[in-house]
Amino acid sequence: MTAGTSAGSWQAAWIVLQREWLLAVRRPAQVLQPLAFFAVVTAMFPLGYTPELAKLRAIAPGVLWVGALLASLLALEHLFREDASDGTLEQYVLSGQSLTWLLLAKTIAHWLLTGLPLTLMAPWLGVALGVPLTAATGVMGALALGTWTLSLLGSIGAGLTLGVRRGGVLLSLLTLPLAVPVLVFGARATELAIVGDSPTGALYLLGSLAVLGLTLAPLAAAAAVRIGLE
């Protein structure tokens, strides 16, 4: 790839990222829905399980991570589908720019609009589950890496279900098995941060998954989208 082509791909990806932000501003309900879901799910556990903070603290890692995973899935169904219905994805394919870079820009926008807010919300919502604020750094670090990996994995599922009408259930079935390692290591890192131990080992594993996802997922998503558009 030449330097000019690389610069053109970067510029095209930046334009796509700006477009996603503008669309999010025009459709705030679509952005706020996963965040509201995460907040409601987390807040309901003390009411439905027990108000004892000691017991809630024991299940807090699982609650936070399952809530974040399901909230991310809510937004994934719209990742490529609307652009496919209005012909935008076809224009991406015909534009001469790297489809991999363009879809990576959309995935980054998804994480910035969903994964990052979930990460910032988690320590404050965790207080209702008995999570001390001293664990905020570890909790946020784990969720930042985990939600980023979930966005990458979800982009593959969104591409594979592009041609399926009402493919939200199928998207979940495809993404959830791939997300199990992220869920396991993320919950472990969160648990260690809550009890005051170092979550470094689990964070390294999450980081490895994030790097692996960044390396492979955009290519797989581009191939899936091309198949879905045929």
Residue 135: CA count within 13 A, CB half-sphere: 28
Helix, strand, coil % (nearest 5) of the chain? Answer: 85, 0, 15
Per-residue pLDDT band at 199 (split at 50, 70, 90):
very high
Asked if pLDDT for residue 76 goes beyond 90, the answer is no
pTM, two decimals, is 0.89
DSSP-derived secondary structure for 37-96 = HHHHHHHHHHHHT-S-HHHHHHHHHHHHHHHHHHHHHHHHTTTTHHHHHTTHHHHHHHTS
Range scoring the smallest mean pLDDT among 64-73, 165-174, 197-206: 165-174
Asked if pLDDT for residue 135 goes beyond 70, the answer is yes
E strand or H helix at 135:
none
What's the whole-number mean pLDDT along residues 186-193?
Answer: 94
- Across all residues in the chain, what is the average pLDDT? 87
Locate the domains of the chain by residue range.
3-229
Tens-place pLDDT, residues 200-218: 999 999 999 999 999 999 9
Decide if 120 contacts 144 (C-beta within 8 A): no
Percentage of the chain surpassing pLDDT 70? 95
Q: Which two tokens stand for residue 221?
A: 């998503």
pLDDT at 230: 72
pLDDT at 3: 46
Distance CA 226, CA 218 (A): 12
Decide if 131 contacts 57 (C-beta within 8 A): yes
Q: Which two tokens stand for residue 21?
A: 């932000």
Asked if pLDDT for residue 4 goes beyond 60, the answer is no
pLDDT at 2: 46
What's the whole-number mean pLDDT along residues 170-192?
Answer: 91
Q: Among 230, 227, 223, 4, which residue's Cα sits nearest to residue 99?
A: 223
Asked if pLDDT for residue 1 goes beyond 50, the answer is no
What's the whole-number mean pLDDT along residues 152-173?
Answer: 81
Asked if pLDDT for residue 167 goes beyond 70, the answer is no
